[in-house]
Structure 1
Amino acid sequence: MSWQTILLDIFTYGLLLYSVLLLSGYLFIGAYSIGEVRNYLRKNSFTDYRVLAGSNESPSISILAPAYNEGANIIENVRSLLSINYNNLEVIIINDGSKDDSLEKLINAYDLYKADFFVNPQIHTKPVRGVYKSNKAVYRKLIVVDKQNGGKADALNVGINIAQNSYIVCIDVDCILEQDALLKLAKPFLETTEKRVIATGGVIRIANSCEVENGRLVKVNLPRQFLPRVQTLEYIRAFLLGRMAWSRLNGLLLISGAFGAFDRDIVIKCGGYNHNTVGEDMELVVRMRRYMEEQNEPYKVSFIPDPLCWTEAPASFKILGRQRNRWTRGTIETLQMHKVMFFNPKYRLLGMVSYPYWFFFEFLAPIVEFLGMVAFLIFVLLGLIHWTFFLGLLFFIFSFGFLYSVFAILMEVLTYNQYKRSRDILMLVLTAFVEPFIFHPFVVWSAVMGNIDLLRKKNAWGEMTRQGFTKKPN
C-alpha cells in the first residue's frame, strides 16, 4: 500500500467520522427542539399578556439601541421602539459618533433638548458629549445619548451606565419589534423562581421586502432577493431549531446582539460589554455564564420561539461577507478568552458540552470543510479519488442538509407560520435546494477569511450599509 493511498484513507475516514458526528449533533438538536417548542406553545396558550402590559409590577426594562450612521431608518426605528406595548420602560438611543445626519434627524423629529443628566460611570467608556430628552410628554420614555465613537460594545456600556431599570434589552436600532415583544421577553424573568434568569432572547426574522408603516411591520413578505431569502431560511433553522434545543439543555452560549434581554446587575458585575472583541454579544453571555458558574449560583439563559424582532439582512455578497467574517472573528475571540472552560468539569454542562460543541462544530467546521475541498482537488489531480464512494457520500450530505432545512420549514409552518402563501413555502424549499451550491460555499469562504484576518490582527467591524425598509403603499 502506497503512502498516497494511506493518506487518502486517513483523509476519507477522518472526514467521514467528523461528518457523522456533526450530522448526529444536528439530528439531536432538531429532535430535541420539538419538545421545547411544544412545551412553550402549551404554556403560552394560558398567558394573558394584557395583564402584564398594564401592570406596574412588570419587570422594569431599559432598551439600549446603539446607532452608527443609521440615518436611513433611524426615525422609523425609534418610532417603532416608542410604540411598544409595555408600561415600565425607557428607550435609550446611543448615537455612537455617527458621521451622517442621524442625531440631527432625531433632534428635529422628537423635539429634543440637551438635558443635565448625571452619568454614573460604573463601566469605563468613551466620553459622552450630551444627553437629550424631549420637550413633548408623549416622548417621555425617550433618551438620546451622543458620544464619541467607540464601537457597538462601548455604546452599549454607555447605555448600561445611563439605564435606570433592572433589565436591559439590547437591540440593533435597524430592527422592528413586534408590539408584544417585550411582554414575551420579560416573561421568563417572572416565571422561573428556582434559578436566576440572567439573559433571554427570541427569534430574529428577516424584514427585507416586508412593509413598514410608522415604525410597525404591517405586512410580512418573503424576501424577493436571493440572499435575504436564503438568510430567512438560515435564521429559521438557527433560531427555531438550534437555539431552542440549547435553551432546553440550558447550554445556550449566544443571545443575538440584534435583540436580547439581560439582568443589568449581573452585566455590571461582569464588567459590561468587552470592546476588545467584535463578537461582544456572544462574549458577554459566555462571561455571564462563567461568572454564575464560578459563584456557584443556579441560573438559566432562556430562549423563546416567538418571532419578536425583524431586521434588515445583507442583500449583497460584499456586505454579507463582512458580516460573516466578523461573526467568525468574534466566535474565535470568545473561545480564546474563555479557553479555561474547555472540557473543564468545574463548569459542568458549559465546559463539558457547550464550549466543546462550539469549538469543534462552529469554529472548526468551516476550516475542516475548506481543507477538505483543497485536499479533494489535490487527490483528483493525483487520480486517487474513489468516485463511487465520494459521490455517494456527497449525495448523502446534500440530502441530509436539504431535509434538515425542509424540517425547519415544516416547524415554522406548524408553529408561527409567518409566510402563509403556498408560493412562499415552495420558494423556501427551492432555496433550501440551491443553498449548498451558492450561499453555503460563500459563507465557508467568509469564515476562512475571518480566520485569516484574525491572524493578521485585523479587528475592523466592517461597515454595514442599509437599504431601508419598504414603506406601505398609500
Structure 2
Amino acid sequence: MEGFFGVYSIFYILIYLALGIISFVEIRKYYAASKFLNKDIVIKSNNTAGVSIIAPAFNEGKTIVSNVKSLLSQEYPKFEVVIVNDGSSDDTLEKLIAEFELVKVDFFYQERIKAAVVRGHYKSTNPIYNKLLVVDKVNVKSKADAVNVGVNSAKHSLFVCTDVDCILRKDALAMLVKPFIESETKVLASGAAIRISNSCEFKEGMLYKSHYPKNFFARFQELEYIRSFLYGRMAWSRLNGLLLVSGALGMFDKNTVIEVGGYREDSLGEDMELVTRMREHMHEKKEKFKIIYIPESLCWTEGPSDKTIFLRQRVRWARGLAQNLWMHRKMLFRPKYGTTGMMALPYFVLCEFLVPILELVGIVFVLLDLFFFGLNTQFLLIVTSSVYLFYTFVTLISIYLDQLTYKQYSSIKDIFTLLLMVFFEPFLYHPITTYASLKGYYFFLMKKEKKWGEMTRTGFNESIAR
C-alpha cells in the first residue's frame, strides 16, 4: 500500500507541474497577443456580436435595484440584461417595476428549451432602460430552469450566465466576446476569473477597492479561486479540455446550448454538466470547437461566510462532480471523444474525485499501521512533507502570477496575510473541504434527496464605499 501511495503522489505532483508550466506559457501568450484585438475596438464597434446577460433573481428585494443598475452599466455597444424573477415571494418584482418603470408587454416567447410556466415579460417605458427585460416565472427551485427561461427569452446569439448579485467589471462583455471574434474555430463558451467580494469596497455597483477577505472561509476560498482559475483552468484552456465554465460568469453560444437541451434541472452541478454535454455533442458531430478561459478578473461574488452555508455549498459541488462523471462515464478513455475522453475526464476522476477518498484511505491505513503493524514514520514523513511543500509551492506560484497580472491587492498587509494563509490552508481549511467532499459522495451514492438549499448572503451593502 505504501508503494501505491508513493507512486500516486509522484503522479499527482507531475500532473500539477505540467499544468503549471502550461498555464504560465499560456498566460504569457495571452498578454503578448492581447493587443491583436484591443477591447476598445470591440467596445466602440457597431458591428460586434450581440450579448444577452441572463441573471436569475429569487428573493433579492434588498439589493435587486442596485444589482440591476450594475449589470446595465456594461461598456458594450450591443447587449441586453434579462432578469428572470424566479417566483420570488418577497418584493423583488414590485421593486423592479417601480424603479425601472416596467409594464407588462406582449412578447413572442418561444420555448426552445422546456422550462417552467412564464407569467409575463416586462419592459421599461423609460428609454434609459431600454436594454432591460424582466421575465416573471413560476418557481421550481432550480437555477437551471430560470436560466433556461432566460435563454428562451434572449434575443442575441451569445448570452452570459451570471448571478444577479455578482459584480461584473465594466468591460466584462468586451473581454469575454473577444475569443468568439478572434477564433477561426467555433467557440462554444468563454470564462474568466472569479474573485471573492467579501471585505471589498464597491461604489455605484463597481469595484472601488479590493481587500483580502477578513472572514475565515472567505480567506481560504480566495486562495482556492486564485489557484484553480489561474493555475488550472489556463492550462486546460490551452489543451482545449475545459469541463467547467463558472456559473457566476460564462459566455455561451446560444444555439449550441439550445441544441443540447439547455441546463439540466436534475443536475447538482449544472454549469459543469452543460459544458461536458456540449463537448460530447460536438464530438458526436465530429466538429472542431474551443472552450476558452481568459486570465482576467471580471467578476466578484460573495463567498459563504459561515460553516453551515459553506458546507452546504461544498457538499453540493461534490455531489455535482460525482453526478457529472457518472452521467458522462461513456466518454472515459475513448479516443472518439478526443481531449474530453482521453485527458479531461480522466483527470477529474484521478486528480479531483479520487483525492478525498484516497486521503481517507490513507488515514485509515496510517492508524492500522500505528496500532497493529508498526508505523513506517520515515516513509510517512517523506510523503507528507513532499505533498505539503508541493501544495504550498503551487499556491505561491499562483499568487505570484496573480499579482504579476492583476496587482489585485495594493496593500502590503493584504499580500502578507494572503501569503501567510498559504501555509495554514492544508491544516485548517483542507480537512473541512475533504469532509464536505466525502459527505457529498456519500449522499450521491445513497441517492439522498436532491436539495439545493438557499445560499443566504449578507450582500454588498456593508462594503459599499461612501
TM-score bracket, shorter-length normalisation: over 0.9
- Please give the alpha-carbon distance, in whole angstroms, between the structure 2 residues aligned to 1:383 and 1:106: 68
C-alpha spacing 1:76/1:378, structure 2 compared with 1 (3 Å):
farther
SS of 2:451 mapped into structure 1: coil
- 1:350 paired with 2:344, answer no
CA contact (8 A) 1:64 1:91 kept: yes
SS of 2:122 mapped into structure 1: strand
- 1:248 paired with 2:238, answer yes
Q: Give the letter for the 1:163 counterpart.
A: A
For residue 228 of structure 2, the aligned residue among 220, 238, 247 is: 238
CA contact (8 A) 1:72 1:467 kept: no
Aligned to 2:159: 168
Deviates more, 1:14-23 or 1:445-454: 14-23
Aligned to 1:34: 24
For residue 450 of structure 1, the aligned residue among 411, 435, 440 is: 440
Aligned to 1:197: 187
Q: Deviations over 1:186-223 (max 9, x none)?
A: 00000001x10011101111111111122111111111
- Please give the alpha-carbon distance, in whole angstroms, between the structure 1 residues aligned to 2:71 and 2:243: 26
Q: Give the letter for the 1:472 counterpart.
A: I
Deviates more, 1:260-269 or 1:419-428: 419-428
CA contact (8 A) 1:370 1:445 kept: no
Aligned to 1:154: 145
Aligned-pair CA distance for 1:109: 2.1
Q: Give the letter for the 1:191 counterpart.
A: E
Aligned-pair CA distance for 1:274: 0.9
Aligned to 1:472: 464
Q: Counterparts in 2 of 1:178-193, with a 5 A limit?
A: 178-193=169-184
C-alpha spacing 1:383/1:466, structure 2 compared with 1 (3 Å):
same
Q: Counterparts in 2 of 1:9-24, with a 5 A limit?
A: 10=1, 12-24=2-14
Aligned-pair CA distance for 1:473: 4.0
Aligned-pair CA distance for 1:383: 4.9
SS of 2:458 mapped into structure 1: coil
- 1:280 paired with 2:287, answer no
Aligned to 1:61: 51
C-alpha spacing 1:369/1:71, structure 2 compared with 1 (3 Å):
farther
For residue 313 of structure 2, the aligned residue among 297, 307, 323 is: 323
For residue 303 of structure 1, the aligned residue among 293, 302, 306 is: 293
Aligned to 2:450: 459
Deviates more, 1:354-363 or 1:50-59: 50-59
Deviates more, 1:176-185 or 1:128-137: 128-137
Aligned to 2:93: 103
Deviates more, 1:312-321 or 1:65-74: 65-74
CA contact (8 A) 1:86 1:183 kept: yes
- Please give the alpha-carbon distance, in whole angstroms, between the structure 1 residues aligned to 2:187 and 2:64: 31
Q: Give the letter for the 1:52 counterpart.
A: V
For residue 294 of structure 1, the aligned residue among 272, 276, 284 is: 284
- 1:410 paired with 2:395, answer no
CA contact (8 A) 2:51 2:78 kept: yes
Aligned-pair CA distance for 1:371: 2.2
For residue 226 of structure 1, the aligned residue among 207, 216, 235 is: 216
Aligned-pair CA distance for 1:75: 2.1
- Please give the alpha-carbon distance, in whole angstroms, between the structure 1 residues aligned to 2:27 and 2:65: 35
- 1:92 paired with 2:97, answer no
Aligned-pair CA distance for 1:226: 2.1
Aligned-pair CA distance for 1:146: 1.3
- Please give the alpha-carbon distance, in whole angstroms, between the structure 2 residues aligned to 1:91 and 1:237: 31
Instruction: Give the structure-1-normalised TM-score.
Output: 0.95
CA contact (8 A) 2:202 2:465 kept: no
Identity of aligned residues (%): 47
Aligned-pair CA distance for 1:385: 1.2
- Please give the alpha-carbon distance, in whole angstroms, between the structure 2 residues aligned to 1:47 and 1:264: 23
- Please give the alpha-carbon distance, in whole angstroms, between the structure 1 residues aligned to 2:351 and 2:158: 32
Q: Give the letter for the 1:331 counterpart.
A: L
CA contact (8 A) 2:52 2:80 kept: yes
- Please give the alpha-carbon distance, in whole angstroms, between the structure 2 residues aligned to 1:354 and 1:87: 36
SS of 1:198 mapped into structure 2: strand
CA contact (8 A) 2:203 2:465 kept: no
- Please give the alpha-carbon distance, in whole angstroms, between the structure 1 residues aligned to 2:151 and 2:300: 23
SS of 1:92 mapped into structure 2: strand
- 1:426 paired with 2:400, answer no
Aligned-pair CA distance for 1:71: 2.9
Q: Deviations over 1:396-433 (max 9, x none)?
A: 21111111111111111111111122221111111111
Aligned-pair CA distance for 1:338: 1.1
Q: Give the letter for the 2:370 counterpart.
A: V
Q: Give the letter for the 1:159 counterpart.
A: G
- Please give the alpha-carbon distance, in whole angstroms, between the structure 1 residues aligned to 2:42 and 2:186: 20
Aligned-pair CA distance for 1:161: 0.6
- Please give the alpha-carbon distance, in whole angstroms, between the structure 1 residues aligned to 2:13 and 2:90: 46
SS of 1:443 mapped into structure 2: helix
Any unmatched runs of 5+ in structure 2? none
- Please give the alpha-carbon distance, in whole angstroms, between the structure 1 residues aligned to 2:464 and 2:275: 37
Q: Give the letter for the 1:262 counterpart.
A: F
Q: Give the letter for the 2:459 counterpart.
A: G
Q: Deviations over 1:367-416 (max 9, x none)?
A: 11122223322332325211122122211211111111111111111111
Any unmatched runs of 5+ in structure 1? 1-9
- Please give the alpha-carbon distance, in whole angstroms, between the structure 1 residues aligned to 2:407 and 2:87: 40
Q: Give the letter for the 1:156 counterpart.
A: V
Instruction: Give the structure-2-normalised TM-score.
Output: 0.97
- Please give the alpha-carbon distance, in whole angstroms, between the structure 2 residues aligned to 1:345 and 1:47: 35
CA contact (8 A) 1:325 1:449 kept: yes
Q: Give the letter for the 2:159 counterpart.
A: I
Q: Deviations over 1:211-248 (max 9, x none)?
A: 11221111111111121111111101000110000000
CA contact (8 A) 1:63 1:170 kept: yes
